[in-house]
Structure 1
Amino acid sequence: MSLLETLNQDMKNAMRNKEKQKLSTIRMVKASLQNEAIKLGKDALSEEEELTVLARELKQRKDSLREFKEAGRDDLVENLNVEIEFLQDYMPEQLSDEELEAIVIETIEQLQVTSKQEMGKVMGALMPKVKGKADGTQVNQFVQKHLS
């Protein structure tokens, strides 16, 4: 079942169960998916493109969460936490720190990179491998750790 079909099914369930916040979050994600399809001039997105949109939505909410916490807006923090939980249900299982670190080390060895000047080369090779399974910031930290 595609992500859009899953979202449609979950949206129906949220309507039946009167889960307003979940319904709102699903509608926002569906709108983002449809906007991306229109932007790319396609009828439907591939699984990878759907994952990219979902990851972007999740990242936006995490960034907003951090800003709201700094501003002391606890009411908005609570809402965003719930939205983040809903979105993570649709994401693939995240890599553990150990798995991610192993992939980083393997990629660095394959590319035979030794200095931080070549970090872009490593990140370019790594990100497609871990797309949707790891946060880019976390990947960046591991790469910096192993290139120092």
Structure 2
Amino acid sequence: MLRDTIKKAQIAAMKAGEKERLHAVRLILAKIKDRDIEQRGSSAEIADDDLVTDVLQKMAKQRRESITMYEEGGRTELAAQEKSELAVIEEFLPQQMDEAETRAAIDQVKADTGAEGMKDMGKVMAELKARHGATLDMSKASALVKAAFS
């Protein structure tokens, strides 16, 4: 399980004395624990690896946005810190689909659902998330879906 892999990475970072990596792994584990607490009240049961992957994807997205803002604001030291955290987060994420694979998946979903125009974009996005949620960057996919319908 992905959660166990992350916990092992924490122990390895502690033993190796890698402070930055340890900090990033602890952030990941804290976010996962927060998500676990949120899920306690929910009746919907989510597979553990799906939950962890979702947390990691959101963390990666936040880091990318922060990097852009820090670089635009001239705060290179903060951008560098975010980049190092992003590198650790991406180690645990499943391999993401590249643009060609994403376009192929979009075309397949469009064919399977019979989507023809922008009015069907929500249906296509929902099906993409259901089929490829863990390996697909949904923000990039959204732009590609829009382009496919225009």
**Post-superposition shift, 1:117?**
2.2
Letter in 1 for 2:40: G
Question: 1:42-67, CA deviations, whole angstroms, 9 ceiling, x for partnerless residues?
Answer: 8x961111111111111111111111
**Post-superposition shift, 1:132?**
2.5
Paired residue for 1:137? 139
Contact 1:29 1:54 in 2 (8 A): yes
Letter in 2 for 1:78: A
In structure 2, the gaps of 5 or more residues are none
Paired residue for 2:7? 8
Taking only the aligned residue pairs, the percentage that are identical comes to 23
Candidates 83, 86, 89, aligned match of 1:87: 89
In structure 1, the gaps of 5 or more residues are none
Contact 2:3 2:49 in 1 (8 A): no
Match of 1:89, SS state, is helix
Letter in 1 for 2:72: E
Q: How much is the aligned-residue C-alpha RMSD, in angstroms?
A: 1.6
Paired residue for 1:47? 49
In the comparison of the two structures, how many residue pairs are matched? 146
Letter in 2 for 1:16: K
Paired residue for 2:124? 122
Contact 1:127 1:136 in 2 (8 A): yes
Candidates 102, 112, 115, aligned match of 1:110: 112
Contact 1:37 1:45 in 2 (8 A): no
**Post-superposition shift, 1:136?**
1.3
Paired residue for 1:147? 149
TM-score normalized with structure 2 length: 0.91
Paired residue for 1:32? 31
